[in-house]
Amino acid sequence: QEKLVESGGGLVQPGGSLRLSCAASGRIFSPYTMGWYRQAPGKQRELVATITAGGSTDYIDSVRGRFTISRDNAKDTVDLQMNNLEPADTAVYYCNARNSYYTPPHDFWGQGTQVTVSS
């Protein structure tokens, strides 16, 4: 029920690219705002990018112009295309779904996928 599963992480060299995918199941996907978060060892989890049900996107400054978030509501998937990767992007990346019907909103989380940027 209401699961998010990430995939696509791995090891890449600086300047390389990865595409992360998140698949949702057990719920209606399209009304949710989707997000990608990341967490490096010893650091707090931080929001990287969001996309609303209507397709509006937002990014933190450090990834704007390099990362692109997208969604396919018919397939219940959300992707994060990451280009020009930097060592500072190294983290576990988590998919998030936010149900704004509730106040405060209710969040669903995936298990995470490791992204390592190193030469």
**What is residue 28's predicted lDDT score, i.e. its pLDDT?**
60
**What is residue 100's predicted lDDT score, i.e. its pLDDT?**
86
**What is residue 26's predicted lDDT score, i.e. its pLDDT?**
73
**What is residue 27's predicted lDDT score, i.e. its pLDDT?**
66
The model's pLDDT over 26-40, given as tens digits with 9 standing for 90+, comes to 766 668 899 999 999
The dihedral of CA 61, 55, 100, 76: what is its sign? negative
The model's pLDDT over 62-106, given as tens digits with 9 standing for 90+, comes to 999 999 999 998 888 999 999 999 999 999 999 999 988 889 999
CA distances from 69 to 17, 43, 57, 89 (A): 14, 23, 7, 15
- For the cut 80, the answer to whether the pLDDT of residue 115 exceeds it is yes
Buried b (16+ CB within 10 A) or exposed e, 13-47: eeeeebebbbbbeeeebeebbbbbbbeeeeeeeee
- For the cut 90, the answer to whether the pLDDT of residue 59 exceeds it is yes
**What is residue 33's predicted lDDT score, i.e. its pLDDT?**
93
